[in-house]
Every structure is written in structure tokens, then in C-alpha cells.
């Protein structure tokens, strides 16, 4: 499938070599910065007092928001198409945006990183059948097992189906109320050849003349697939009975990975393994149950366990392992510049912020209606997807495919490693934004009324006990390193919601800096605010690496991707309403298979070692790169970008782009 050219809306600015340390000395500068914000593209920040602000013709549940204001819109008995309140940018929005950018500019910590997020991804690898053995001391060992298919005449029937008949493969014979998940059963084995799974016949809880002992694994339904307008539940049609093999896979295993896999299914899939989880708990608590069925794989030294054979890989490495010194500050005596200035809360300490942001009021407040565009329904937006590893992870030098635990090199060899995240996430500026009209309102998108471009807001930033370096850095950051008329600025930031669609590009300019001074007169000491021209309004940045400064300037450049097609991953030249489906198709097409034994493409891969990415993202480079080049060994004449190291990481700063929700992903459980 052809992958069309596009620029992904987000990219990454690389981390520095080492997290910076805050100044040890306390500053003496206290005062206020007055500044203005100018919308270069439409801007949207929701007034969440009402989720159905506008009348939208749809049969589905659909949310609609007006722009943030001080007006209470909680009366849901009316709609507000003809009501216009003066728009307001909350100080918290500017604070979150500036903190994210201050962290970048000063090589500060990744304050928003989630230490506990589980990294996982659906894999093409087929996991192997196994049996968990519970030892007398309460520990667990894992043994190989042989998988037998059990097919009956239908749901809750234990009578064997011996002949091929109509609908043979659509019968849900794995649904057995009288046989819980993991039940020990007796049966007769029917061999079908070396490469074909044997069948289980005459299955019962009673031994009788049955000569085989096994453990039942039922699992869940397969995915719901829409074919010719009809939704069909496919794939899953029989049960599995595991018999104990001779080889021990691993001694003294932990069941925590299996429990994590079950939790991930519960979060990401429509049909969590409820019965499997319940019976696993009984197995752990029981003193009589000796074995429990499971699927396993061991691509590295870390064992992976799952209730399904085509499943999710649960990775051992965590984001905190990959960012090294850039983990969130955990000691009040060893803070980064951003935590020292903006404040932070640790496990057993807290540091107060030395800056405070007022709300920003609209200068066109006398005529609020002139500030707005007409309400518009957006294309669907969703949350960051860390399992898109070709975007979020730096490409190892000789890798064709890579994950959070391992990569596959050009020889098809699997290599265990600790990956590098490509940096801090940002969104490219998209000028001349035209939101598509006629988007169908659904439960997956939202209708909004944004503020139009060329609207000015003004606000204040109060600071307390800053050093000269901190104040200069803050002033430089607010101005994005520029001087001149606000409307003509060439650099700025992204604010608010719908950044991937081009909304939220703003320019900022410092208007005035006032310092608080203690003045002694004849009668008493007084404190007053005086405008200070020593600092100017631009500020200075010192001790910033030249490479980082150049990257920051590129990231904030309004014209960095001028003339390029900016959109989420797509296999189509045109936009479609279901961008989530479109993106899913792109990532499926990007995951190609290559047989290293045959030296040819194999379409969809069946094993990890045959996987490769067609394209990947390199930090700070708008266009995607080609993973394989024509000069690599064993590679057909595939041309593309370079295979040098590139970029990718986590989400930084405020992220409102996930409202109101996200569509379900692929729900295939993967057992046929």
C-alpha cells in the first residue's frame, strides 16, 4: 500500500545531554511583566460549564463548547448561538504553555512524565501455549504445553462435532458455562499431522476411559468486523485444551506481567478477560489447583505472559528508564531551573512558585461578537499514542524495527536494548488554517466556537525574588527571542485545543517591565512599582547551547512547514471524517514484513524478526524518513531517507487535544 507524503502535526525537540541545575542563590527582583498575546490562527479554550452549548443536529451524543469566558453557561435548557461573551484566556493556560517551553529552553526536567505508564503494543508474533505450575512453597514455574483444539456442536454443548458442516467455523463452542476458565478436564487426543494442532475429543470433568489430562482455556470473542453493512463477530470459534509438556520454560516466575496484560486489555479492549482474571485469582488462592493455562513469549530475557496467543506485548522498560537525568525533580535541594521558578510538588515536599499569571482579557471586549468565528464541527481528535514507536522512539543505528524493549536489525536479529526517547513533543505551526466544513457531528468529535485570528489579549505576570538570569530568560521566552510589532512577529507558541488541526498559534510580546523598589523619603520607607528599562522588554538568554537555541527557533517558527501538507498519518490524498481510522490504516501499512531467509517482502509479518517500519520520524525533521535504504545489505531497491539516528518522546505541556474522547482501537483478541 502506498504511503502518501505528509508532515505529521507533532514532532520532537531532542533532550540535552544532562538536566540543568537551578541557581543556588536567591534573587532580589520582584515586580510585574505586562504582555500581549496575538492570535495568528484561530484559538480555542473551552468553557466547560456547558457540554451542549450549541444546537447540533445529530442522533449521537455530541459535545459542543463555547470559548472560555467569565459567563456561566450551565443552563442546559437553552443554547447560546446568539450570545457572545467577552473571551478570556485563563492564566493557567498560559502558565502551562510557558512552563513547557521554559523546560525546553533551560534543559529542565520532564515534569509531566508518568513514571507508572505501562508501555505495550499488539504484536504479530504468535505466543506459545504454556502451563503455570504452582509449587508447594507458593512460587510458580512455567512449562511448555501442547495446544489441542476443542470443537463441539455449539455454545454450552459438550458433544463433539465430527463432520464438516455448514457454519462449522462460526459455532461459539468455547462458550461453556459448566466449565470455568482453567478447568482441569479429561479427553481423548486426535492427531492431525505434524504442523496441525491436534483435536480434543470426548471432553469431560470425569476421567472414565479418557487417557489425557488438560486445562481449558476459553478466552473471549473475536473482533467485530463490519462486512457489507453487517457487523459480524469473527475469528474465535473453538476452545483450547493445554496438556503439560516436558520442558520447563522458566523457574520462579512472577505473575505481575500477566496481571498487567489483563489490565491493559481492560483499558484498551471492548471485551476484557473477566472470567480469566477471576479464575487466575482463584488459582493463586487455592491450595489444590496445580496448573493454569497461559500463552507466553520470551523475545528477550524478560518473559511475556498473556491470555491470548496473538496479543499485546507488555514492555519492561518504562519512560523513566529512558529519560535518565531528565526525570521529574524529587529533591527540593536539587531542582532544575523550571521547578525552581514554577514550583513543584514531590512525594514528601513542595516548592512554591515564584511567578503568578493573571487571566488575559480581550482588547476587543466592547464588541465580543467580532472576536469569534462561527461554530464549527472539528475532525476527531484523540490522546497521544505511545505505542507508535516509529514516531516516539529514536531509531537505533542498524534497526529496521524497534520497540521499548528490543529492536530487529538488518540481518533479522533481535537485539535487547534501552531505547532513547526523541525528546519533548511540540506541534508545528500551520498558517492560513481552513477547518473543513460539513464534518458529521458524532460522539468522537466536538463542535466549538473559536476566537478568530488577529485578536489581541493582554495580561500580567507577577514575579517574586527572581535572579537577573531568571528574569532575562523569562523575558526572552515571552518574546520568543524577537522584537518589533506584535502583529509582525515570526515566532511564537501553540496554545489551547485542536493544535493538530492548526488552531492555537499565538505571538507574545512584552509591553512593560515594572520592578518593586523600596524608596526612602523624609518621613518613611515606601514601596512602589517603577518601570525598568535596564532589562528592556526582550531579555537575554545565556548559557544555552547553540544547537538547542537553533532547534527552539525552528520549533517556534510560524513558517517552518510553510507550503507542506500537515496532517496526521494518512494513506489518502484527501481528508476523511474518520481520521482515527485513516491513521490506523497508515500504521498498519507502515508495519511491513521481510523474509531474511528468502530476501523478499512478505506482506504482513508473522514474527518479530520479519518486521520493519517503512517510515519513521526523525526529531526536528518535518518529512518522514525511510528506514531501509538501497545501500543496506539484503535490501531490495527501496529508497527513502537516511537510517541515521532520529527522534521521539512524550507529551509535554497542556494537552486538550483529547476532548471529548477517542474511538476504540483494534479489538482483535487474536486466537483462532
CB 390, CB 642: distance < 8 Å: no
Q: Distance between CA 361 and CA 142 in Å, rounded?
A: 64
Contact indicator for 532, 515 with CB cutoff of 8 Å: yes
Q: Contact, 530 vs 539, CB < 8 A?
A: no
**Whole-structure pTM value:** 0.85
Give yes or no for residue 308 having a pLDDT over 80. yes
Q: What is the pLDDT of residue 68?
A: 97
Crossing angle for the helix pair 546-556 and 91-105, to the nearest 10 degrees = 150
Provide the CA 447 distance to its chain's centre, in angstroms.
23
Please, where are the H alpha helices in 72-140?
91-105
Q: Render pLDDT for 242-280 as a digit per residue (tens, 0 to 9).
A: 999 999 999 999 999 999 999 988 886 666 789 999 999
* Residue 236, phi then psi, degrees to nearest 5: -80, 120
Q: By the 8 A CB rule, do 250 and 304 touch? A: no
CA distance 480 to 77: 44
Q: Which residues contact 22 (CB under 8 A, 6 or more apart)?
A: 335, 336, 337, 339, 340, 341
- Residue 224 is predicted with a pLDDT of 56
The model's confidence at residue 663, banded by pLDDT at 50, 70 and 90, is very low
Under 8 Å between Cβ of 203 and 150: yes
E-only strand ranges, 168-311 = 184-190, 199-204, 212-217, 224-227, 230-233, 239-250, 291-297, 304-306
The pLDDT value given to residue 668: 35
Q: Report the C-alpha gap between 406 and 399 in whole angstroms.
A: 10
> How far is Cα 492 from Cα 427, in angstroms, rounded to an integer?
11
Q: How far apart are CA 107 and CA 335, in angstroms?
A: 12
Q: Which DSSP state fits 390?
A: H
**220, 244, 248, 245: which is closest to 234 by C-alpha?**
220
Q: Within 10 A of 604 (CB to CB), how many other CB atoms are there?
A: 12
Q: How confident is the model at residue 436 (pLDDT cuts 50, 70, 90)?
A: confident
Best CA proximity match to 63, nearest among 434, 391, 442? 442
Q: Which residues contact 603 (CB under 8 A, 6 or more apart)?
A: 592, 593
Measure Cα distances from 549 to 315, 422, 521, 543 in Å: 34, 17, 45, 10
Q: How would residue 505 be classed by pLDDT, with cut points 50, 70 and 90?
A: very high
Predicted confidence (pLDDT) at residue 593 exceeds the cutoff of 60: yes
Q: How far is CA 346 from the centre of its chain?
A: 24
Point out the least confidently predicted range of 38-47, 454-463, 635-644.
635-644
The answer to whether 336 and 108 have CB atoms below 8 angstroms apart is yes
d(CA 439, CA 576): 9
* 385 DSSP assignment: -
Pairing of β 406-409 and β 414-416:
antiparallel
pLDDT of residue 210: 93
3-class DSSP state of 418: coil
Say how far apart CA 414 and CA 416 lie, in whole Å.
7
- Residue 200 CA to residue 240 CA, distance in Å, equals 8
Per-residue pLDDT for 409 more than 50?
Answer: yes
Describe the strand order of the beta sheet including 406-409 as a list of residue ranges.
Answer: 399-402, 406-409, 414-416
CA distance linking residue 299 with residue 436, whole number of Å: 45
SS3 annotation, 169-187: HHCCCCCCCCCCCCCEEEE
How many other CB atoms are there within 10 angstroms of residue 546's CB atom?
7
The answer on pLDDT for 525 being more than 70 is: no
pLDDT of residue 26: 86
Spatial neighbors of 17 by CB under 8 A, at least 6 apart, are: none
Neighbours of 477 (CB within 10 A): 22
List, in order, residues 6 or more apart from 572 with CB less than 8 Å away.
4, 582
Percent of the chain with pLDDT over 90: 63
Q: Which residues make beta-bridge pairs with 516?
A: 529
Q: State mean pLDDT over 297-313.
A: 94
SS3 503: coil
Give yes or no for residue 534 having a pLDDT over 50.
Answer: yes
Phi first, then psi: what are they for 415, rounded to 5°?
-120, 125
Band of residue 499 on the pLDDT scale cut at 50, 70, 90: very high
Task: Give me the residue spans of the domains in the chain.
Answer: 1-119+315-672, 125-309
Average pLDDT, the chain: 86
User: Looking at residue 265, what is its pLDDT?
Assistant: 87
Whether 522 has a pLDDT exceeding 70, the answer reads no
Taking 50 as the threshold, does the pLDDT of residue 408 lie above it?
yes
3-state SS of the chain: helix, strand, coil percent to 5? 15, 30, 55
- In order, the DSSP letters of 329-353 are P--TTS--HHHHHH-EE-SS-EE--
CB neighbour burial string for 309-319, b if at least 16 within 10 angstroms, e if fewer:
bbbbbbbbbbb
Give which of 9, 20, 17 is closest to 102, Cα–Cα: 20
Separation between Cα atoms, residue 410 and residue 633, nearest integer Å: 7
CB contact set of 534 (below 8 Å; sequence gap of 6+)? none
How many helical (H) and strand (E) elements, i.e. helices and strands, does the chain have? Answer: 9, 36
DSSP-based three-state secondary structure for 222 = coil
Does residue 200 sit in helix, strand or coil? strand
| Helical H segments across 344-395, by residue range | 389-392
Amino acid at each position: 500500500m502506498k504511503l502518501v507524503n505528509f508532515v505529521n502535526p507533532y514532532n520532537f525537540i531532542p533532550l540535552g545531554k544532562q538536566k540543568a541545575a537551578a541557581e543556588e542563590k536567591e534573587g532580589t527582583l520582584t515586580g510585574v511583566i505586562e504582555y500581549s498575546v496575538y492570535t495568528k490562527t484561530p484559538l480555542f479554550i473551552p468553557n466547560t460549564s456547558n457540554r451542549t452549548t450549541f444546537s447540533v443536529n445529530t442522533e449521537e451524543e455530541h459535545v459542543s463548547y463555547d470559548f472560555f469566558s467569565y459567563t456561566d453557561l450551565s443552563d442546559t435548557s437553552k443554547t447560546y448561538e446568539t450570545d457572545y461573551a467577552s473571551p478570556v484566556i485563563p492564566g493557567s493556560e498560559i502558565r502551562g504553555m510557558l512552563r513547557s517551553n521554559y523546560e525546553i529552553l533551560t534543559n529542565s526536567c520532564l515534569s509531566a512524565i508518568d513514571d507508572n505508564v505501562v508501555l505495550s503494543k499488539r504484536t504479530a508474533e504468535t505466543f506459545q501455549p504454556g502451563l503455570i505450575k504452582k509449587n508447594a512453597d507458593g512460587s510458580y514455574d512455567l512449562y511448555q504445553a501442547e495446544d489441542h483444539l476443542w470443537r463441539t456442536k455449539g455454545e454450552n454443548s459438550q458433544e463433539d462435532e465430527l463432520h464438516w458442516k455448514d457454519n462449522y467455523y462460526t459455532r461459539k463452542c468455547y462458550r461453556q458455562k459448566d466449565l470455568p476458565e482453567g478447568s482441569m478436564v479429561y479427553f481423548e487426543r486426535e492427531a492431525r499431522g505434524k504442523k496441525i494442532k491436534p483435536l480434543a475429543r470426548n471432553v469431560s470433568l470425569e476421567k472414565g476411559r479418557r487417557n489425557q489430562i488438560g486445562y481449558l482455556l476459553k478466552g473471549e470473542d473475536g473482533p467485530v468486523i463490519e462486512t457489507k453493512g453487517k457487523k459480524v463477530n469473527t475469528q474465535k470459534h473453538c476452545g483450547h485444551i493445554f496438556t503439560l509438556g516436558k520442558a520447563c520454560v522458566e523457574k520462579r516466575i512472577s505473575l505481575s506481567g500477566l496481571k498487567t496484560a489483563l489490565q491493559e486489555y481492560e483499558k484498551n479492549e471492548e471485551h476484557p478477560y473477566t472470567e480469566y482474571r477471576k479464575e487466575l485469582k482463584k488459582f493463586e488462592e487455592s491450595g489444590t489447583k496445580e496448573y493454569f493455562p497461559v500463552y507466553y513469549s520470551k523475545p528477550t530475557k524478560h518473559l511475556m505472559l498473556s491470555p491470548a496467543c496473538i496479543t499485546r506485548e507488555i514492555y519492561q522498560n518504562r519512560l523513566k528508564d529512558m529519560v535518565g537525568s531528565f526525570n521529574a525533580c524529587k529533591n527540593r535541594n536539587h531542582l532544575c531551573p523550571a521547578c525552581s521558578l514554577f514550583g513543584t510538588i514531590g512525594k514528601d515536599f513542595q516548592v512554591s512558585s515564584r511567578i503568578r499569571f493573571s487571566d488575559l482579557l480581550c482588547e476587543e471586549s466592547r464588541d465580543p461578537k467580532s472576536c469569534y468565528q462561527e461554530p464549527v464541527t472539528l475532525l476527531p481528535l484523540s490522546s497521544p499514542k505511545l505505542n507508535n514507536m516509529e514516531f516516539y522512539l529514536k531509531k537505533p543505528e542498524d534497526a529496521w524495527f524497534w520497540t521499548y524493549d528490543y529492536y530487529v536489525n538488518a540481518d533479522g536479529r533481535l537485539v535487547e536494548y534501552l531505547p532513547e526517547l526523541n525528546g519533548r513533543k511540540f506541534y508545528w505551526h500551520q498558517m492560513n488554517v481552513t477547518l473543513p466544513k460539513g464534518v458529521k457531528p458524532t460522539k468522537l468529535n466536538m463542535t466549538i466556537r473559536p476566537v478568530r485570528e488577529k485578536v489581541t489579549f493582554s495580561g500580567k505576570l507577577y514575579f517574586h525574588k527572581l535572579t537577573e538570569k531568571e528574569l532575562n530568560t523569562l523575558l526572552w521566552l515571552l518574546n520568543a527571542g524577537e522584537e518589533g510589532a506584535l502583529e509582525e512577529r515570526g515566532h511564537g507558541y501553540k496554545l489551547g485545543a485542536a493544535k493538530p488541526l492548526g488552531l492555537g498559534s499565538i505571538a507574545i510580546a512584552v509591553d512593560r517591565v515594572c520592578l518593586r523598589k523600596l524608596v526612602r523619603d523624609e518621613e518613611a520607607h515606601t514601596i512602589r512599582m517603577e518601570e525598568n528599562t535596564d532589562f528592556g522588554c526582550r531579555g537575554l538568554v545565556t548559557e544555552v547551547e547553540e544547537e538547542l537555541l537553533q532547534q527552539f527557533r525552528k520549533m517556534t517558527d510560524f513558517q517552518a512547514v510553510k507550503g507542506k501538507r500537515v496532517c496526521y498519518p494518512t494513506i489518502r490524498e484527501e481528508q476523511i471524517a474518520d481520521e482515527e481510522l485513516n491513521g490506523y490504516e497508515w500504521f498498519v501499512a507502515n508495519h511491513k514484513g521481510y523474509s531474511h531467509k528468502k530476501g523478499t517482502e512478505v506482506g504482513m509479518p508473522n514474527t518479530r524478526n520479519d518486521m520493519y517500519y517503512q517510515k519513521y520520524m526523525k526529531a526536528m525533521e518535518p518529512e518522514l524518513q525511510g528506514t531501509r535504504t538501497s545501500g543496506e545489505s539484503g535490501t531490495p531497491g527501496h529508497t527513502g531517507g537516511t537510517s541515521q539516528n532520529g527522534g521521539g518522546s512524550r507529551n509535554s505541556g497542556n494537552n486538550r487535544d483529547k476532548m471529548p474522547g477517542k474511538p476504540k482501537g483494534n479489538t482483535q483478541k487474536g486466537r483462532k
